[in-house]
């Protein structure tokens, strides 16, 4: 028997540190020589953006708890202050790592390919002349330097905006002895500027906005001596707060909160690495931050802005090959998707297969006089969404359209408020779900009159109705006219749009009511099979696994002899491989070209597997504070396909897989008997090469 009880803190990794470890794996992609060079740059940018959000939300939340004097600890036993200390240590390591990768690996490799980022000392006289002209014509008119004195206090800076703190010597026109000034760079200014061909020495010569301003900052302060110029950026708390007990109009309340996001409490200060320590201390004090909140940057403070470079460079060999998402024959040849779905359920596997059938189904519904109603949930849609256009078109044509919009989709709140207005103006009925509970389920229901029958067609998915992310996120979507699924979906929509008790659903497992309880029962079923000597195995694929109750259930299943394979892209606070606790549990993370977003739960059930697809990860918020769906794959052929495409290749992957160790670190799973990349295999099997 183990010396640990299943609730012991030693059995759980810290959630926040797990999230930082995920970004360490993303950073590592930037160092892989076998990946196209510009894609390696993208990985660096993605990880940098992830770290930004980590501070805006996760660190900000911990700092709030610390300010309120919270003594609470999580399942891992770490207090808030202990977490902040460890986060600071790991985050500083990651920041140093990202600039080492940029300066020592990517920039030299890009230069070898003719893509150069020119420093001031590297520019030719012609390039210096061009940069000077660009400064005076494009930058000087929109820059507003502010000398700091009692009449000009430190400006209130927007979240993550680029600024420069400038040290000065001398007297200005009014005889003031100013020694400090701040220059803000408007967000409208490009952070990377390409030099024209006539003064370029390489196919692609770029200069950073920061470098241009540094070179000509003295022109902003005529008659004064500029003794230093240091870029900086402050990250602020960007979470929104709406009191569920007080709010009367969720849309109005959120709109009022959005402006506060830009000026929330400071949580991090990024500062040029050459900044003097005395100025660093002065700047951190200005924002109420401690030394551990200051991150010194040996390069541009916002690496995410480099994400535009691959789109500015026409070098296909330095990018992932283009592909065209595939289309199943029975779908491609169909002029009537309703008839195709009646014949047999349709499974779509994105991005390897096209998202277009989802849009086509909505378009056909909008044009079909026999369709009496369309219902859909929307969480994130993106700009110029054909899904939204199809709903608007259907509403304008007189179809009864009900849309449940989750206004609180983080960082998409403003877009979703605008979206709700557009749909309402078109005649659609728009509701916002349940205050205090996010609607995260991905559902479409189309009610169609067929003779004397009203048939329900549904689409249930693991990902958002977002045509852009459908090209870069892995997800499954199921189209069906199964009567029980249709009734279940209708009942969920009724819960979201009206009031009343939640009835028991026939086939769909639903959070916050039955999902967690049902998953625990399915795990217990595997325990009973294992104890009876029958085949017992669980394969679960998700984005995050942090729910302590589910982790305890997995530990119990492992102790009973159930074989468990977990494919968890991001946070996993379970410790695998612990003697007498989790010896039968293996955890891997896949980091590849596409963001792994699919949620698949497979329970062996003594040789008669139960396979579910879901919108939910195994996190407390998904189980308890969100409306989520988890639906069974009932067709045996489709269930076999889900397993053969969504699980098996990932268990064999030895190119993009990282294996979680008991101490919380990840080791790459290296090829030893032939190279297997799950995503490449699926591209080859399902997509069309361009």
| CA-based torsion, 548, 550, 553, 555: positive or negative | negative
For 647-654, the CB contacts below 8 A with 24+ separation are: 647/539, 647/541, 647/567, 647/600, 647/602, 649/676, 649/678, 649/681, 649/682, 650/541, 650/567, 650/588, 650/590, 650/678, 651/539, 651/565, 651/567, 651/588, 652/676, 652/678, 653/588, 653/590, 653/677, 653/678
CA–chain centroid gap for 458, Å, is: 26
Which residues contact residue 215 at a Cβ distance below 8 angstroms, ignoring those fewer than 6 apart? 120, 128, 131, 132, 135
Cα(220)–Cα(150) distance, rounded to whole angstroms? Answer: 20
Could you give the count of Cα atoms lying within 13 Å of 571 in the half-sphere of its Cβ? 23
CB 195 within 8 A of CB 127: yes
Instruction: Quickly count: other Cβ atoms within 10 Å of residue 261's Cβ.
Output: 18
Cα(580)–Cα(584) distance, rounded to whole angstroms? Answer: 9
Express the helix, strand and coil content of the chain in percent, nearest 5 each.
40, 25, 35
Bridge partners for 342 per DSSP:
none
Can you read off the two tokens belonging to residue 632? 């069974």
Q: Which residue is catalytic, options 440, 459, 529, 597? A: 440
CB 439 within 8 A of CB 496: yes
Instruction: Quickly count: other Cβ atoms within 10 Å of residue 312's Cβ.
Output: 12
Cα(602)–Cα(542) distance, rounded to whole angstroms? Answer: 12
| Strand ranges inside 251-298, DSSP E | 266-272, 294-297
Residues making up the chain, counted from first to last: 690
- The answer to whether 92 is a known catalytic residue is no
Locate tokens 């309880």: which residue?
517
Cα(383)–Cα(360) distance, rounded to whole angstroms? Answer: 18
Instruction: Quickly count: other Cβ atoms within 10 Å of residue 372's Cβ.
Output: 14
- Catalytic residue positions, numbered: 440
């Amino acid at each position: 028997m183990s010396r640990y009880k299943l609730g012991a803190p030693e059995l759980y990794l810290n959630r926040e540190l797990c999230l930082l470890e995920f970004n360490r794996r993303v950073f590592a992609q930037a160092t892989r020589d076998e990946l196209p060079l510009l894609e390696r740059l993208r990985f660096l940018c993605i990880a940098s953006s992830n770290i930004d959000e980590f501070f805006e939300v996760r660190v900000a939340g911990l700092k709030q708890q610390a300010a309120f004097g919270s003594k609470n600890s999580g399942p891992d036993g770490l207090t808030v202050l202990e977490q902040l200390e460890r986060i600071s240590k790991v985050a500083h390591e990651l920041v140093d790592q990202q600039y080492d990768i940029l300066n020592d690996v990517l920039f030299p490799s890009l230069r070898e390919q003719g893509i150069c980022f020119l420093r001031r000392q590297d520019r030719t006289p012609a390039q210096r002349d061009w940069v000077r002209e660009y400064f005076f014509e494009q930058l000087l008119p929109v820059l507003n330097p502010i000398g700091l004195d009692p009449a000009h206090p430190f400006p209130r800076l927007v979240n993550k905006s680029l600024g420069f703190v400038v040290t000065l010597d001398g007297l200005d026109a009014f005889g003031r002895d100013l020694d400090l000034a701040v220059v803000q760079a408007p967000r409208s200014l490009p952070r990377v500027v390409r030099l024209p061909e006539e003064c370029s020495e390489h196919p692609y010569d770029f200069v950073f906005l920061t470098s241009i301003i540094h070179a000509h900052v003295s022109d902003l302060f005529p008659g004064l001596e500029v003794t230093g110029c240091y870029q900086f950026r402050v990250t602020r708390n960007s979470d929104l707060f709406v009191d569920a007990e007080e709010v009367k109009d969720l849309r109005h309340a959120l709109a009022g909160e959005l402006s506060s996001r830009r000026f929330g409490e400071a949580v991090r200060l990024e500062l040029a690495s050459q900044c003097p320590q005395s100025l660093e201390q002065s700047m951190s004090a200005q924002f109420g931050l401690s030394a551990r909140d200051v991150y010194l940057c040996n390069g541009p403070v916002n690496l995410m802005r480099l994400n535009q470079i691959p789109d500015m460079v026409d070098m296909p060999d330095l990018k992932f090959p283009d592909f065209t998402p595939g289309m199943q024959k029975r779908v491609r040849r169909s002029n009537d998707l309703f008839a195709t779905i009646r014949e047999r359920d349709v499974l779509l596997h994105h991005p390897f297969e096209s998202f277009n059938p989802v849009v086509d189904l909505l378009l056909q519904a909008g044009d079909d006089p026999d369709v009496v109603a369309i219902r859909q949930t929307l969480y994130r849609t993106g700009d110029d969404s054909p899904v939204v256009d199809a709903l608007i078109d259907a509403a304008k044509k007189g179809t009864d359209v009900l849309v449940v919009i989750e206004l609180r989709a983080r960082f998409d709140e403003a877009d979703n408020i605008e979206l709700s207005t557009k749909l309402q103006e078109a005649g659609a009925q728009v509701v916002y779900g349940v205050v205090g509970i996010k609607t995260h389920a991905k559902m479409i229901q189309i009610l169609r009159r067929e003779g004397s029958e009203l048939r329900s067609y549904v689409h249930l998915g693991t990902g958002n109705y977002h045509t852009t992310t459908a090209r870069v996120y892995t997800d499954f979507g199921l189209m069906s006219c199964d009567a029980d699924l249709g009734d279940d979906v209708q009942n969920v929509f009724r819960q979201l749009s009206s009031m009343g008790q939640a009835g028991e659903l026939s086939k769909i497992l639903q959070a916050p009511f039955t999902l967690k309880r049902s998953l625990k029962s399915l795990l217990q079923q595997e325990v009973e099979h294992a104890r009876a000597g029958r085949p017992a195995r669980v394969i679960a694929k998700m984005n995050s696994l942090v729910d302590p109750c589910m982790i305890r259930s997995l530990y119990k299943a492992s102790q009973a002899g159930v074989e468990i394979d977990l494919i968890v892209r991001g946070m996993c606070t379970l410790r695998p491989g612990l003697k007498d606790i989790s010896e039968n549990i293996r955890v891997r993370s896949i980091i590849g070209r596409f963001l792994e977003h699919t949620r698949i739960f497979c329970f062996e059930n003594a040789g008669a597997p139960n396979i579910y697809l879901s919108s939910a990860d195994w996190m407390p918020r998904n189980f308890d504070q969100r409306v989520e769906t988890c639906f069974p794959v009932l067709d045996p052929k489709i269930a076999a396909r889900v397993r053969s495409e969504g699980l098996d290749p990932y268990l064999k992957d030895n190119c993009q897989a990282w294996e979680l160790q008991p101490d919380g670190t990840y080791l790459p799973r290296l090829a030893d008997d032939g190279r297997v990349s799950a995503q490449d295999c699926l591209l080859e099997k399902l997509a069309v090469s361009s």
